[in-house]
Structure 1
Amino acid sequence: MTQADNISAQQAAGPIVAQNVDDEPVASNQRLHANWTNKAIIVLCIAYTAFHIGVMNLYPLETWTYRLIHVCGGLLLGFLIYSAVQLPVAVPERVRRNPIEWLLLLVGVGGIGYGFAMIAYAWGAYWVAGIARPPAFVFSTYGLPLLAGTAAALLAAWFFPSRDRTRVDWADYALGVASIAVLGYILFNVGPLRLRAGTAMAQPADFYAALVGVILILEVTRRVAGLALVVIASIFILYSFAGPYLPGFLAHRGYEARRFFTYIFTDQGILSDPVAVSSTYIILFITFAAFLQASKVGDYFVNFAFAAAGRARGGPAKVAVLASGLMGMINGTSAGNVVSTGSLTIPLMKKVGYPAKTSAAVEAAASSGGQIMPPIMGAGAFIMAEVTGIPYTDIVIAAIIPSVLYFASVYFMVDLQATKLGMKGLPKEELPVFKELLKQVYLFIPIIMLIYTLFAGYSVIRAGTVSMMAAAVVSWLTPHRMGPRLLAKAFDIAARMSVQLVAVCACAGIIVGVIALTGVGARFSSLLLGIAEQNQLLALFFAMCISIVLGMGMPTTAAYAVAAAVVAPGLVNLGIPVLTAHFFVFYFAVMSAITPPVALAAYAGAALAGSDPMKTSVESFKIGLAAFVVPFMFFYSQAMLMQGTWLEILHVFVSASLGIYMLAAAVQGWFFGALGAPLRLVLLAGALSMISGGLVSDVIGLVVGGSLFLYQRRFVTTEAIARGVD
């Protein structure tokens, strides 16, 4: 098929609704580099992605070395791509530096430059002359200037930033060099550090490298993910030193700074499970998503959803459920997916009659649900497999029924509201032709290949690589053929997309390290056990609240990593199976993105819809309500996670599906007609009975639902229903 044939086929498919829908939105502090700077950073991004793909598939590296390059490379890109402050759209006039900025420049460049020069001297002597131990002054004098220079560069970046979006400020160049210096020192001493880090034998030079590394991680996390995670990580760091002064189960003996920071920069902290996953599975599937984006396959997914559901009542909302769930599963960020796909779906939802807050809430709920949709599940499935040791395929299978129930619930919510408000879908002439899009159904091959290879026994890395190759091959059947230029573009996109998750996972590693060092996780487990002796359901409710609070304002990956370290061990000690316990905290960590008062995904949707953020977060909580009920079903019925006989699994799935429909009807106030407040409460009780999965409770739920159906059909006339709609 020629390119002309492809173009004519696309024209025959009708209007193209989605174009560049999965392009990454430009953050308010993200630079748009020009000229040689842009080319140099593109080369760095391509090299960063190629390094990971090459190591994972061809040339394995020692674990610490690989993870350190992953983290410090991400920090370097973070400082080059993201400014410390929001940047204006227009290029401002240059402001002359004042004496304070000149002083900071002198200290920053001088201190970081000296520290970097000492590290470079050590490596140069090793490469040129084979000197394994440089002179004593090299490592004894590099640390304090590096720390002082980093502090000065940070102050300059905060208080004297360049407002020119096209250029990188000197302070950020200096901070990028500091990241390389930290990497150089730790790699040079990686063998001894494995033995002495976190002990009384740790050297002052080790302490300075680790401290500067932690500061740089916190700063890049602030730039790419906001203050929430930085504040939480800082509280945990302070907790490490404040232990002797705290009461009750929070008390511990406290730690000396040298021991603490060197411990944190090991595979018990920053280089632990979150970074292990981000350096392998996460960056692999981000690259897969970048391949789909570069080849415009993502646009096809969204257009396919519009063709399939656009004409139904409330069509754009149903498209949002399908398309945002699919795209959110791949890109791994709830708020980011809201901004990308929501820029298309939210205006169309408003066009057919959904209120602004509902339009934003549907997009937020669907995008957040993508994090629980197999087979990719954002990045949560990979972290869960790493933390629990449970095979990835078992986790994916266990996630099938809960994810189906969640998306069915959101679909029922939007459908019932569309019925209640008398909505219609989009006109046929404004939508792609489904029959024509079916001719391009081969564009789903990369996703199908991913699922097949995972369940055929391939490793996750091999399956992701094969799927990436499939995306490149499939692109040759479209006008966007992936040759060297688009492959380079995909690698560039992948590196830029990965910076946020690299920083977030490294920052989450700080929290994980503090929990492991202080033992607060074990104390929290004891607290949960104490509560469970009084009431096990109360212990679960308490665990739910902690998981949501820990996740508020944090990206999904970090939210689950922290909740898995703090809450999950306590649930396991209650006697809950490991898989069930981790799914429990995972669901609530994900749903923190749509839980008031800090709901990142809902806030992102509100900004696009022009609605009130708090009202939007409440609405998204209502639409995603099933996700707050389903985890309790894990506890009462293991069959919900495919644990049991096929008859048990089928029974739970059918009864829960009916319960989810009744729950949506109770929330929307429309069953087979309008529902007043008393009937909504009755239906809600019946829905919860159906969801619990017991035979007696199912009968109760069926009686309630059936009785209400008969009541509405018999006693509510068409005129009364119309009045109820009004």
Structure 2
Amino acid sequence: MTTENATSDQDVSQKLKSLELTQRPEHSPTGRFIYWAGVVFALLHIYFNTLGTWSELYVSAIHFGGFAMLCALMVPMIRQGSAARQKLALVLDILLGLAAIVCALYLIGFEDELYDRGVKFAQWDWVFSICAIFIALEMARRTTGWFIPCLILTALTYVFWWGPYIDGIFGFAGLSLETLLYRSYFSSEGMFGQIARISWTYVFMFILFGAFLVKSGAGDFIIELSRCAAGRFVGGPGFVAVLGSGLMGSVSGSSVANTVSTGVITIPLMRKAGFPARFSAGVEAAASTGGQLMPPVMGAGAFIMASYTQISYLDIIAVAALPALLYFLSVGFFVRVEAMRSHAKAVELDTRPIGEVFKEGWHFLLPLVALVTLLIYGFTPTYAAGLSIISVIVSSWLSKHPMGIRDIFDALSQGSKNMATTAMLLISVGLVVNVVAMTGIGNTFSLMVTEWAGGSLLMTLALVALASLILGMGLPVTAAYIVLATLSAPALYNLMAESRLIDLMVSGQLPEAARMIFMLAAPDKLSLLEAPMSEAQAISMLALVPSDFMGQLMDQAIPAESLSMILVSAHMIIFWLSQDSNVTPPVCLTAFAAAAIAKTPPMATGFTAWKVAKGLYIVPLLFAYTSFIGGDTAEVLTIFVFAVFGLYAFTGFMEGYLEGPLNIVLRLGCALAAVGLLWPHNMLIINLSALAVFIAIFLFSRKSISHA
């Protein structure tokens, strides 16, 4: 091994160590406490989400206190050193965890007294509110590094200190420190606000659901089923990675955990089949990242999106399914092309017939069926998740290894452990979201993005993608999505709605009620609305409408259901682009995890994963410029089918290979075909012509390789 590779492996090991949750031995007194505290805390959350009627603010405080205690013990302040240093670290961690619990109890016990004083802080109010924020910062530092604490401190100090010293659009008159602490700690707007509520409801219940599925043996069944379905095809181990990672990610919601759990199987299989090591790791990283996009969990994104948009969770996962399938197909196309180029061979995986595997493990699908059925019948996601957890236990009794009491306790404890760092991350980010709401900086940022983009939707998408990559270097995916959605979703939504409005004006289909608004804004040009107009005329007329009337114009011109889907599309774009930090250097922990398994250079692996995961950038363009989300069934399926071939054509252009090598002319032909299949021109003849070109190139590449 070269010195460079050795150094790279050390860097990867350090990165991966930062992702490990439990740093203290499981059988030590501390480890046993973590285990049983996790069990108790999971049961408490099940009660809160099903039968409990406690105040949401109080439950959020308990959620903070308990998981801060778990996080303090699981991720020690000092991870290496002498026995004396370790004992000191344990004492400090216990004190910090106890302080978090006391902060939660203080809020519950003394909130009413604060309001009796007219919201005037007493001495202990100052102490506990500052202490709670400090604990949130420290937990964020332990789990994700210094970026999030620095971001939070910058946001908080902007409110009461340096905001008034800034000129221009980001200037802020400032609020008192007392007001800031009240809104951050005592109110339902800050660290115990909407994001914390999402954490202890949707996110916790589905992470717990995933822990029960894995403990029941569903994870092994998924891998075995994937190997049976795809393992014996040419390049089959690559398809196993794609299929297995997609299925595992649909319930795990963590791209790194997905990579580690499936990569140890799929990466060696891909290398055995003849795939290059770096490509094998890149495919695993890209496929595992897609697990964040696949319903029902979507890495907590679906729950946060439902809360932000006020659109049902069921509707969101329904529209997310086909785009996620597109992404996995795009990764699969890279696998197919590389299999042909590398002459990858089929590998005998010693698998049983797929029917036999399915017959033995079909019951693992019952909890997912129960979950979807409950959601369709109108149960809340949290209640549906609670009942689905019970269905996991019951369905496991149909297997060779039924879950007993100990298995149930293990799953409860593991669910709490898996949630600990996520809970502290979400609670901490809630402080930033609160500052954005208090200061109005979100609207300012949206206006700034719109101004920089010059009203161009494509330029806005590019700016959001750049911002997501920069934020992703220091923030985990979920946090990056929350921050970006808070800042840029309004601008993206407005531009997409205006684009739809312009389409209606160009086609002459503007409703009569919307024309009345133009009568007030531009009465001399009202005659233009009687017939189809050019896009330039529509844009110039729209510019005459005062901003105060723009919202009303959109409500009158575009049906409420369509506006809702535009809002979902805007959030889905941001959510997809937020995933790019998983596979984009210089900080791409999913690719680093795959590189550690494949023993390949981390950065080189990151660039390979970035190439294979190009669907992360292409599919959001369909969200922005087509009716892929929110269109009727025929329209959505048409877009989907042409997009499948478009992504395959794009892969041929990127790789210069399909069934055989492509010369420069054929490669450019693939590029043109991809544009024709993916571009939102709404002209079927162009789609069909582009499809014919791609099929001709595909057949020619196959013919040329057979002659060779």
Q: 2:234 and 2:139 mapped to 1: Cα distance?
A: 44
Residue aligning to 1:350: 271
User: In the superposition, relative to structure 1, how do residues 29 and 485 fare at CA in structure 2: closer, same or farther (>3 Å)?
Assistant: closer
**Residue pair 2:246, 2:288 contacting (<8 A) in 1 also:** yes
8 Å Cα contact 1:186-1:193 kept in structure 2? no
Equivalent position amino acid for 1:233 in 2:
I
Distance 2:287 2:577 in 1: 15
CA distance in 2 between counterparts of 1:400 and 1:252 reads: 42
Unaligned 5+ runs, structure 2: 1-16, 498-565
Instruction: Find the counterpart in structure 2 of residue 615 from structure 1.
Output: 604
2:445 maps to 1:524: yes
Matched, 1:394 2:351: no
1:13-57 Cα offsets, whole Å, 9 max, x none, are xxxxxxxxxxx9982872114344333322211110000001211
Cα distance between partner residues in 2 of 1:370 and 1:495: 21
Question: Structure 2: how far apart are the matches of 1:272 and 1:384?
Answer: 15
Q: Which residue, out of 345, 354, 357, partners 1:437?
A: 357
1:101-500 alignment runs, 5 A limit: 160-162=85-87, 169-193=90-114, 201-240=120-159, 241-265=161-185, 266-428=187-349, 430-440=350-360, 441-500=362-421
Greater alpha carbon shift after TM alignment, 682-691 vs 651-660: 682-691
- Alignment partner of 1:50 out of 40, 43, 47: 43
Q: Tell me the CA shift for residue 708 of structure 1.
A: 5.6
Query: CA-to-partner distance for each residue in 1:614-672, whole Å, 9 max, x for gaps?
Result: 2222111111111211112112112x11x233332222122111111111222222224
Q: Supply the distance in 1 between the matched residues of 2:673 and 2:123 (Cα, whole angstroms).
A: 64
What is the CA–CA distance in structure 2 between the aligned matches of 1:686 and 1:613, rounded to whole Å? 34
Structure 1's 302 and 192: CA in aligned 2 closer, same or farther, altered over 3 A? farther
SS class of match (1:385): helix
SS in 2 for 1:378: helix
| TM score, norm. by length of structure 2 | 0.83
Corresponding position of 2:542: none
Deviation at 1:579, TM superposition (A): 1.3
Distance 1:435 1:644 in 2: 37
Structure 2 residue aligned with 1:597, among 564, 582, 586? 586
**Equivalent residue for 1:78?**
71
2:22 and 2:386 map into 1 onto residues whose CA distance is 32
Contact 1:546 1:567 in 2 (8 A): no
Deviation at 1:255?
A: 3.5
Deviations along 1:144-172, one digit per CA (max 9) or x if unpaired, are xxxxxxxxxxxxxxxx5559xxxx71111
Partner of residue 543, structure 2: none
Q: 1:708 to 1:460 in 2, by over 3 A?
A: closer
Partner of 1:154: none
Determine what percentage of the aligned residue pairs are the same residue. 33
Cα-to-partner distance string for 1:564-605 (whole Å, 9 max, x where unaligned): 111112222335331111111111112322222222211222
Helix, strand or coil: the match of 2:76? Answer: coil
Using the TM superposition, give the Cα deviation of residue 482 of structure 1 relative to its aligned residue in structure 2, in angstroms: 1.4
Residue-by-residue CA offset, 1:105-147 (whole Å, 9 max, x unaligned) = xxxxxxxxxxxxxxxxxxxxxxxxxxxxxxxxxxxxxxxxxxx
C-alpha distance in 1 between matches for 2:116 and 2:594: 48
* Change in 2 beyond 3 A, CA 1:435/1:252: same
DSSP-derived class of the 1:477 partner: coil
- The count of corresponding residues between Structure 1 and Structure 2 is 621
> CA separation of 1:93/1:553 partners in 2, compared to 1, >3 Å: closer, same or farther?
closer
Bigger mean CA offset, 712-721 vs 61-70: 712-721
Cα separation, 2, equivalents of 1:713 and 1:291:
47
Asked if 2 retains the 8 angstrom alpha-carbon contact of 1:659 and 1:701, the reply is no
One-letter code of the match for 2:297?
A: I
Deviations 1:326-345 (A, max 9, x none): 22222222122212222222
**Cα distance in 2 for residues equivalent to 1:435 and 1:634:** 37
Instruction: Note the C-alpha offset of 1:206.
Output: 2.1
Amino acid corresponding to residue 245 of structure 1 in structure 2: Y
Q: Is the 8 A contact 2:226 2:243 kept in 1?
A: yes
Inter-CA distance 694–651: structure 2 relative to 1 (3 Å threshold): farther
Say yes or no: does 1:538 pair with 2:459. Answer: yes
Q: 1:665 to 1:36 in 2, by over 3 A?
A: same
Q: Is the 8 A contact 2:285 2:583 kept in 1?
A: yes
Larger CA deviation: 456-465 vs 467-476: 456-465
- The answer for the alignment partner of 2:494 in structure 1 is 573
1:575 and 1:715 map into 2 onto residues whose CA distance is: 39
Quote the Cα distance in structure 1 between the aligned partners of 2:607 and 2:587: 10
The verdict on how the C-alpha distance between 1:668 and 1:86 changes in structure 2, with shifts beyond 3 A counting, is farther
Partner of 1:666: 653
Residues 24 and 31 of structure 2 are in contact (CA less than 8 Å); yes or no, is this contact kept in structure 1?
no
Q: Say which of 55, 58, 65 aligns to 1:65.
A: 58
Q: Do the aligned partners of 1:346 and 1:608 also contact (CA within 8 Å) in 2?
A: yes
Q: Does 1:706 align with 2:692?
A: yes
- Relative to structure 1, the CA distance from residue 468 to residue 713 in structure 2 (aligned partners, 3 Å threshold; closer, same or farther) is closer
Cα distance in 2, alignment partners of residues 179 and 299 from structure 1: 38
Q: Does the 8 Å CA contact 2:303/2:313 hold for their aligned counterparts?
A: yes
Distance 1:454 1:185 in 2: 37
Contact 2:241/2:284 (<8 A) preserved: yes
1:555 CA displacement: 2.4
Moved over 4 A (4+): 160-163, 192-197, 698-702, 711-722
CA drift at 1:681: 3.7
CA distance in structure 1 between the partners assigned to 2:707 and 2:604 by the alignment:
27
> CA–CA distance in 2 between the matches of 1:645 and 1:59?
40
Q: 1:551 to 1:707 in 2, by over 3 A?
A: same
Q: Deviations over 1:265-295 (max 9, x none)?
A: 2321212222111101111111111111222
> Residues 426 and 247 from structure 1, CA distance in 2 versus in 1: closer, same or farther, beyond 3 angstroms?
farther
Deviation of 1:561 (Å): 1.3
Residue-by-residue CA offset, 1:93-113 (whole Å, 9 max, x unaligned) = 634xxxxxxxxxxxxxxxxxx
Tell whether the 8 Å contact from 2:656 to 2:662 is kept in structure 1 after alignment: yes
Matching residue within 551, 557, 577 for 1:588 = 577
Deviation for aligned residue 1:190: 2.3
Cα deviation code 1:349-399 (max 9, x no counterpart): 222222222222111111111111122222111111111101111111211
The answer as to 2:30 corresponding to 1:37 is: yes
CA RMSD after TM alignment: 2.5
CA contact (8 A) 1:547 1:567 kept: no
State the Cα distance separating 1:194 from its structure 2 match.
6.8
Residue 699 of structure 1: how far off its partner (Å): 4.2
1:533 Cα deviation from its structure 2 partner? 4.0
User: TM-score scaled by structure 1?
Assistant: 0.81
Preserved contact between residue 314 and residue 375 of structure 2 (Cα < 8 Å): yes
> Could you tell me how far apart the structure 1 residues matched to 2:616 and 2:701 are?
34
Is the CA contact (8 Å cut-off) linking 1:552 and 1:593 kept in structure 2?
no
CA distance in 1, matches of 2:490, 2:632: 27
Amino acid at match of 2:673: G
Deviations 1:55-103 (A, max 9, x none): 211222111110110111100011112112444xxxx7634xxxxxxxx
Residue aligning to 1:635? 624
